[in-house]
Amino acid sequence: MLTALILTPMVGAVVVALVPARRRELHLPLGIGLSMITLTLAGYLFWAFDPVAGYQFAEDLAWYRPWGIGWRLGVDGISMPMVVLTALLIPISLGASTTITRRVKEFVALTLLLEAGMIGAFLATDLFLFFVFFEAVLIPMYFIIGIWGSERRVYAAFKFFIYTAFGSALMLAGIIALALIHNAQAGAPSFDLADLMRLDISAGTERWLFAGFALAFAVKVPLFPLHTWLPDAHTEAPTAGSILLAGVLLKLGTYGLIRFNLGLFPQASVDSVWIMGTLAVVGIIYGAVVAIVQPDLKRLVAYSSVSHLGFVVLGTFALTSGSLQGAVIQNVNHGLTTGALFLLVGMIYDRRHTKQISELDGLQKVMPRLSGFFLFMVFASIGLPGLNGFIGEFLVLIGSYATLAPLAVLAALGVILAAIYLLWAYQRVFTGLPRSEENRVLSDLSIRELALLAPLAALVVVIGLYPGLLLDRIAPSTESTLDRIEASTGFTVSYPGRLEDVLVVGR
Amino acid sequence: MTTPEVSWLAILPELLLALGAGVVLLVDVEWKPPAWVLGGAAGLAIFLATGVTVVQWIEVADVVRADLAADLVVFSGLIVMDGFAVFGRLALLAVTAMGLVSGWRLIESTGRRGAEAIALVLLATAGFSLMVSSNNLVMLFLGLEVGSIALYVLAGLTRERAGSDEAAMKYFLLGSFASAIFVYGVALLYAGTGELEIIAIREFFSRVVVANPAVLMVGLGLIIVGLGFKVSAAPFHAWAPDVYQGAPAGLVGYLAGVAKVAGFAAMARIFLTGVVELEASWVPVMGGIAALSMLLGSVVALVQSDVKRMLAYSGVAHAGFIMTGVVGAVSDGVLFYVAVYALQLVGAFAVVSAVSGPAVTASELSDYKGLAAKSPGLAAGFSVLLLGMAGMPLTAGFVAKFGVFSGAWDRGQHWLVIIAVLASVIALAFYLRIIVTMYMEDAEGAETAVPVPVRWVVLLAVAATIGWGIFPGFLLDLASDALAL
Amino acid sequence: MVDPGWYMALAAALFVIGAMGLLIRRNALVMFMCIELMLNAVNLTLIAAGRALNDINGQVAVFFILVVAAAEVVVGLAIIVSIFRLMSTASVDELSELKG
Amino acid sequence: MADLLWLIIALPLAGAIGLHFFGRFLREPMAGWLATTAVGGSFLIALVEALPFVRGGDRGTTVLLWEWMPAIGANLEILWDPLSALMTLIVTGVGALIHLFAIGYMHGDHGFHRFFTNLNLFAASMLILVLAGNYGMLFLGWELVGLCSYLLIGFWFTREAAAGAAKKAFVVNRIGDFGLMVGLMLVFTTFGTLSYSGVFERAGELGTGWATAIGLLFLLAAAGKSAQIPLYVWLPDAMEGPTPVSALIHAATMVTAGVYLIARSAAIFEMSPTAQVTVATIGALTAIWAATIALAQTDIKRVLAYSTISQLGYMFMAVGATAYMAGLFHLMTHAFFKALLFLGAGAVIHALGDQQDMRKMGGLLKKMPVTAVTMGIATAAIAGIPPLAGFWSKDEVLASLFGRGGWYSALWVLGLVTALLTAFYMTRQWVLVFMGEPRWDPGADPHDGPRVMTVPLVALAGLTVVGGLVNTPLRTTLEHFLDPVYEGLSVQHPPEGWLMFIVLAAVAVLAGLAGIAAAYLAYNRPEELWVGFEAGFQPIWGIWEEAYGVDDIYGSALVAPGKKLAEVAAFSVDTGLIDGAVNGVGRAFRELGARARLAQTGQVRSYAAFLLAGTIAVVIWLVAGGV
Amino acid sequence: MAEAVIFVLMAVAALAGALTVVIARNPVYSAIGLLATLFSVAVLYVAQLAHAVAAVQVIVYAGAVMTLFLFVIMLIGVDKSEDRDERLPYQRPLTLAIGGLIVVVAATLTLAGFDWVPAATAISVDATNGTVERIARPMFTDWVLAFETTALLLTIAAAGAIALAHYRRREG
């Protein structure tokens, strides 16, 4: 089942690659169709997912025994939403790429490879395998940015690749170290997450390993001050690239923090809540402040990602039920809303061929639908209750207060700032009367574009009003994570940090 | 009168190669046939040699299973026929075959001299393959020289080009300097232990604790330098960039590949078998050299504008990575790495020879602009090879790096591993630079016609890179079975 | 008899002189002679060591090294000659096209 | 019966959704009628549902509609108790009338159906707010009304001013929401839930410190929504929106959400006198502050806007003094007459072709009698003239303050002064608009609006007249109605006894009459005379006209520095420092490489030198390590 | 005792020759110096009873190698005596530094009591008496493979020489 999830896009990529390049009109539809298969599988996964703790659909094939590496896959409440999100965003971003005319074939193939890599990274329960996928996704994304991006694409792609590779370099050392510690303790090296979680690591070592992993993921998230590759990458990437980058790739970082840093190094995590939390909050506020004055719409959204993912990290390291669930669901939300925002910016760019805020004005007059969607997504990411963004932020804030009260309060400031930069941008771009001729003649959304946006918008509302849809599936896994931490470090959050405490009172 | 004890099987591959060389030379002198005949002869020799080597492999396996490992020491201890040697030999033969194929256009173009070229290639391989199997340091030195001298000549094959000649000269002077240093080290080691056979030396050290080991240390140091030079580890690398650039593109891959394979096989054998008892002394030195090589290689490669030089410096870095494995005492890791790397190297230089011509000295980065548009296949292949060298996951390069790093980490060389991973990130930068040039800059000039042989070589290299990247098990098993006696 | 150590010390001296020569002289031919010097030093060492060790192999080894030296001479001189033909000089300082 | 409650929210929501997707297919008035009936429907249901409370004693019920975020006790559940019932009735009742009015007012606007979509959406959101059974859902409504206000202020989005005002409103509100959010964090951390029941049951255990903290945070939130110092600045700008919007959102309903929040959280404020005093004081200050500004405004709607702020101040005074009944009572009456005033103003503006400057009006009494009379009633009401609604509610507020005594007496004085000012500026407005010589350009032909516009005026006027009777010292219906909500909480009532009542009332009425008289005398004269009169009060008058220049102060003290900061962060720190460092590392390596390659001179002999040097180094290292 | 005398003389000669090689400005002198060294080393072989080796040394080197050298010198021209001034930057200081370092190292090692042959054993004359057949036996039994390998070596030398010397005008 899970293997199929990874293989279908791979095979798809091959299939696309086999179609001769001159039949260019075929590639995109074919790619979309193929990714639909994956999406269907993901949908089934969601449907068949059983909301309990622990991994499901687990698979375990030995890869190279002497090293203890294996094709180990499994899905739990933390990874499942991400897989579904990935499978969903791929067809959308492909559908958004009709304006790509150069080397369509390579583009589609690479996108599908990217999908395979990302899904693999979320499903892997073997550190070696995870690292393989984690690094592998860089390559297609590198090409996508570097070939189909805008002016400074090479610089951006280069920076993206090197920066993230640098981040993961030390994690590799950490992974090796873990396997060898297991070798020392159990007599054979193993990269199986389950085995490694059973290790008892000396506090000092644990702290170092934690640092190594945290660095890798912090670059990916990206956590202040390691974020500067993100705006460049986003600004230069083609629409599809931005969507996937924001929607999924960054999530590898936050996901990794939850899955590996919390999972493998409970003590170090507990020790570092304040450091990580502080960085997160600095990111929230800093990202928002910087976003306010960005002259480029895409750049603005990129910085908003820095701000939003700060919430996820804060929630992760607040180590309470609410905050952790909030973090996971915020992962999904950010994927949907920011993805949609990039999609919309891309649509504007396709029409107007500029992303400069100063050159855009009064678009609402000429493109009511598009601006309607834009405003909708803006409010979703501002965190308007009833839409998805609120759920994540609110849970994170409410949850974090129990552990990191001052940080939670500061983080709440980010909510104000979000309103400022997004609404100001909206005001400048959409309201008023279109002054320049170019802006006057733009056409509103086409059916295709509506079809791309509709599902995202629908999900935004659904999650906003029925978060239980996800939370019920997430909660058991996050709970067990917290249980492990509590068990191994005796770390308990001041009442009512944990779900059970809450439920007693809540009902 | 004692008759010499001879084990034909052990040296049959070398014999076949030498025979091939002889045939080629004589036939050429006698009939001056078209090049393909000579090529056929060489190919046959290599093919047979490979076959025999496989037989050797099986034989070795049986003997080891029968627990008669001592029987593998043949020619009264001059050489051993252990898995280690066989593995190295296989790698050498593979590199040779691919090297000859990719250098074929060059060999044809050099006309009469082609025959000597082929013969020299075969002989060099024979020499190196003796080197990887020698158990006696003097024997090892002989093998080394047989190979090296042949390589000096090959480097200067297209000597009408000043570059080629200069390369030959530099390679020769420095090479023989290094050889002298190496053999002096051997002499001192002999003085210190009274033994020339590696296994005997190991026994000596397990038996005796030398009170005043200064002479041993000097000897060891000289040996490190000698081999370090052959594998172009910093600070003994200075020859590599110039020679790689000067030598005809068609053959550089072979030159570099075989030298590295043999050099590291010898290094692993001497240090992980012979003087393993002294590791407390040499491990830090070796580690230092490794670190220096990795950093210097990667950093200097960043600023190269000539692809051949870039690959040379990346070779320096790789020497460092592989020595990390030696430090980590993972001989199988070293073998795997060096085999994979050599194949990638041959493939890469095949691409170079296709892009800038087989005989040239310079191969400017600008020649690669928009190669992806001009000949997508070649560009894609090259990218895979480069990413493989960079050690991206899903390529054999990653598995190889992973192997040596974990070995070193296991030996507590944490700082070395950290340097290594960081260096590999720096290295990534210049591999990407080539890819950028191929994919993200606009093409200049006409289509690049890719000669069929090059196609095959690249395809093979790519297949190896990806295949062993995804299913490393097979090769890793071979390597780990191939433990030195 | 003289302690083999003396012979080996002498050999070391020769070796070093040869090595230094390689750094000092720019005439390829002379540099090459220096290498021959070094190889001789090695031979001397081997023989002295063999004697001290009461082992004949040292002397046997010397033969092979001699052969190597001879072979090197052949190829080396060939290279020198061909360079001389090309740029009519034996000074290695002229050979610095390839660098960086 | 409770199973119908959900319809109260559902009807307008359905209206909104329906209009959003199919509105464009309806011919113009239809959309309006649909929206109106939706809200009207809710009103009727609410009315029916509210009957049990009138009989009294019923504490109300909670209906769970939908599990939203059960983990934190934030579900979609309706708490139907007298308080929410009262609010619902106000919202839907006044709302329906304003919808009706808007059908006429928005006639011919090409965004007609969009307007009613948003209006209905607002009604739904406001109902979510007031019907919420927990703070989570309250927050949901709280934000949604903010959204609607944003959408409706910016309804004419092509007008830069409107767009700006909309953004300003939302952002300023957000600052308040920050308070609410943090407040909810505290609530959750202390009670472990957000549901009213969960909180209020155990509010008694709350420590004073926590109570004060939560109370003040809620106050910040309320100040944002209800436009109190220091966050009132958005409301005057909000007048950029269509007048019915101003009437509905910025006078009658949304702005009272703050009052509602405090009235709803009485149990928490109970625990913290400090919080109560702060609320009351803020209210008093806002009341007089805004009143003074209102004196000098020339824009008919701005006068009303500041008047609204000032009246909200009264409500804050009341709830701050725990005189919740009084506060809510004033909230209700204010909804009536202020909505009336706005609609009247709207009618005038409409009649004069979007003319909002009172100096360009006058003498409309004969032209638009209905408007004039109804607005006259409202003016009298707000001035506190018996027996109009305004008199009863305002009197009760003041009396309660007086009754609370102590510091609150001081606030009582402020209240009286404000009453006087209110009477003055409202009369000024009425006189300037309806009496004297016509100053509007002769081209226009002002006259009363069509039925749909006059009927609401009359209806509201009726309410303004009789509305006050629901809670007179003779019959305190409203108090009994609300009693169950405040069971067990200390609630401030006006002092007992007729004498007391008469005296206080008299004082208040006198203040009102004084104001009216002064204004009448000052303004019922030829233009140059009252212009001179105003000029006589310079410079203070000018300061008032400029609303104390608060906007500029905020602009230069907060906005400009903020922007500067952002620019520094974005362009100096981010691209310069952080990114510079990143790229610097890369450049450093290249630099290093460039230097290192210089050693590669191409000279064999220097290579040999390296080789030998390396050899020596290795040997030394080894020997040193070995020996 | 006699050996000591011989050693001293020959050592001096060898060193002198070596220095000549390095210092002499004219390659011919260098060649002569080398020749001197080779001879004296040969004598030292004899002094250590390595008769066969000594013989080969004389034959191969003096006979073959040196002749070859002289040929080439003639070919290149004897008058090319190089001047002393150093053109390469840093080359001279580097050389001096290295030289000095070597001296220092040597000195320290000697002072530290450098043991040349730690594994030394009692010397029995006949065991190391390098007569031809004493050498030949191991060479053709134990070392036979090495001996055969030298064949490869020489083949390569020949082929290489041809490849390099065989010259065609219009090429490359």
| Partner D contacted by C83 (CB < 8 A) | no
Among all residues of chain D, which has the CA nearest to that of C92?
D604
**Average pLDDT estimate for D467-486:** 82
Give the residue from D597, D605, D619 with the most C CB atoms within 10 Å of its CB, the best one to mutate: D605
Of B146, B160, B193, the CB nearest to E152: B146
Give the residue from A161, A185, A209, A215 with the most B CB atoms within 10 Å of its CB, the best one to mutate: A161
Of D603, D613, D620, the CB nearest to E88: D603
Q: What is the pLDDT of residue B2?
A: 63
**Average pLDDT estimate for D240-265:** 89
Higher pLDDT, E82 or B294: B294
CB contact under 8 A, B156 and C82: yes
Q: What is the pLDDT of residue D492?
A: 87
Beta-bridged to residue A61, according to DSSP, are: A71
CB contact under 8 A, B393 and A63: no
CB contact under 8 A, D605 and C97: no
Q: Which pLDDT band holds residue A373 (cuts at 50, 70, 90)?
A: very high
CB contact under 8 A, B218 and D602: no
Q: What is the pLDDT of residues D397-432, one digit of tens each?
A: 998 898 888 889 899 999 999 999 999 999 999 998
Give the residue from C8, C67, C82, C95 with the most B CB atoms within 10 Å of its CB, the best one to mutate: C95
- Mean of pLDDT over chain D: 88
Q: What is the pLDDT of residues B403-432, one digit of tens each?
A: 999 999 988 899 999 999 999 999 998 899
The answer to whether B325 and B407 are in contact (CB under 8 A) is: yes
Q: What is the pLDDT of residues A305-355, one digit of tens each?
A: 999 999 999 999 998 888 899 999 999 999 999 999 999 999 988 888 888
* Chains in contact with B, where contact requires at least 3 CB pairs less than 8 Å apart: A, C, D, E
Helix axis angle, B113-133 relative to B8-31, nearest 10°?
Answer: 170
For residue A98, pLDDT beyond 80: yes
What ipTM describes this predicted complex? 0.90
| Partner E contacted by C35 (CB < 8 A) | no
CB contact under 8 A, C95 and D602: yes
Of C58, C65, C98, the CB nearest to B166: C98
CB contact under 8 A, D608 and C95: no
How close is the nearest chain B Cα to the Cα of C86, in Å?
Answer: 7
Domain boundaries, chain C: 4-87
Contacts of D605 in chain E (CB under 8 A): 88, 91
How close is the nearest chain E Cα to the Cα of C5, in Å?
Answer: 6
Higher pLDDT, B261 or D353: B261
Q: Which pLDDT band holds residue D450 (cuts at 50, 70, 90)?
A: confident
**Average pLDDT estimate for D64-68:** 84
Of A138, A143, A177, the CB nearest to B409: A177
Q: Which pLDDT band holds residue E79 (cuts at 50, 70, 90)?
A: low
Q: What is the pLDDT of residue B12?
A: 92
Q: Which pLDDT band holds residue C12 (cuts at 50, 70, 90)?
A: very high
**Average pLDDT estimate for A432-456:** 85
Q: φ and ψ at D316, to 5 degrees?
A: -60, -45
Q: What is the pLDDT of residue B225?
A: 95
Contacts of D612 in chain C (CB under 8 A): 19, 22-23
Q: What is the pLDDT of residues A166-196, one digit of tens each?
A: 888 889 999 999 999 998 888 888 898 888 8
Q: Which pLDDT band holds residue A499 (cuts at 50, 70, 90)?
A: low
For residue B110, pLDDT beyond 80: no
Distances (CA, A) of B391 to A110, A134, B3, B474, D504: 20, 14, 51, 19, 88
Query: Number of residue pairs across A and D with CB atoms under 8 Å?
Result: 163
Q: What is the pLDDT of residue D626?
A: 57
How close is the nearest chain D Cα to the Cα of B158, in Å?
Answer: 20
Give the residue from E88, E110, E114, E115 with the most D CB atoms within 10 Å of its CB, the best one to mutate: E88
* Residues on chain D bordering chain E, Cβ-to-Cβ distance under 8 angstroms: 601, 603, 605-606, 609, 612-613, 616, 619-620, 623, 627
Q: Which pLDDT band holds residue E172 (cuts at 50, 70, 90)?
A: very low
- Angle at CA B2, nearest 5°, toward B1 and B8? 140
* Chains in contact with D, where contact requires at least 3 CB pairs less than 8 Å apart: A, B, C, E
Q: Which pLDDT band holds residue D451 (cuts at 50, 70, 90)?
A: confident
Among all residues of chain C, which has the CA nearest to that of D615?
C19
| Partner D contacted by B227 (CB < 8 A) | no
CB contact under 8 A, D606 and E88: yes
CB contact under 8 A, D604 and B181: no
Q: CATH number of the domain at C4-87, please?
A: 1.10.287.3510
- Pairing mode, strands D61-69 and D74-80: antiparallel
CB contact under 8 A, B152 and C79: yes
How close is the nearest chain A Cα to the Cα of B426, in Å?
Answer: 8
Give the residue from A228, A279, A360 with the most D CB atoms within 10 Å of its CB, the best one to mutate: A228
Give the residue from C16, C23, C34 with the most D CB atoms within 10 Å of its CB, the best one to mutate: C23
Of E94, E101, E109, the CB nearest to D623: E109
How close is the nearest chain B Cα to the Cα of A166, in Å?
Answer: 6
Q: What is the pLDDT of residue E171?
A: 44
For residue B4, pLDDT beyond 80: no
| Partner D contacted by E91 (CB < 8 A) | yes
For residue A300, pLDDT beyond 50: yes
Q: Which pLDDT band holds residue B363 (cuts at 50, 70, 90)?
A: confident
Q: Which pLDDT band holds residue A489 (cuts at 50, 70, 90)?
A: confident
For residue A507, pLDDT beyond 70: no
The answer to whether A221 and A313 are in contact (CB under 8 A) is: yes
C-A interface (Cβ pairs under 8 Å ≥ 3)? no
Q: What is the pLDDT of residues D36-52, one digit of tens each?
A: 999 999 999 998 888 88
Q: Identify the top-confidence range among A410-419, A497-506, C6-15.
A: C6-15
For residue B204, pLDDT beyond 60: yes
Among all residues of chain B, which has the CA nearest to that of A137?
B393
* Chains in contact with C, where contact requires at least 3 CB pairs less than 8 Å apart: B, D, E
The answer to whether D327 and D386 are in contact (CB under 8 A) is: no
**Average pLDDT estimate for A56-65:** 86
CB contact under 8 A, B190 and C49: yes
| Partner D contacted by B425 (CB < 8 A) | no
Q: Which pLDDT band holds residue D278 (cuts at 50, 70, 90)?
A: very high
Q: What is the pLDDT of residues B13-67, one digit of tens each?
A: 999 999 999 999 888 888 888 888 888 999 999 999 999 999 998 888 888 888 8
Beta-bridged to residue D64, according to DSSP, are: D77
**Average pLDDT estimate for B73-96:** 90
Which pair of tokens denotes residue A316? 């992760």
Of C19, C31, C93, the CB nearest to D603: C93
| Residue with the two structure tokens 């001197």 | E36
For residue A503, pLDDT beyond 50: no
Q: What is the pLDDT of residue B345?
A: 93
Of C64, C68, C78, the CB nearest to E161: C78
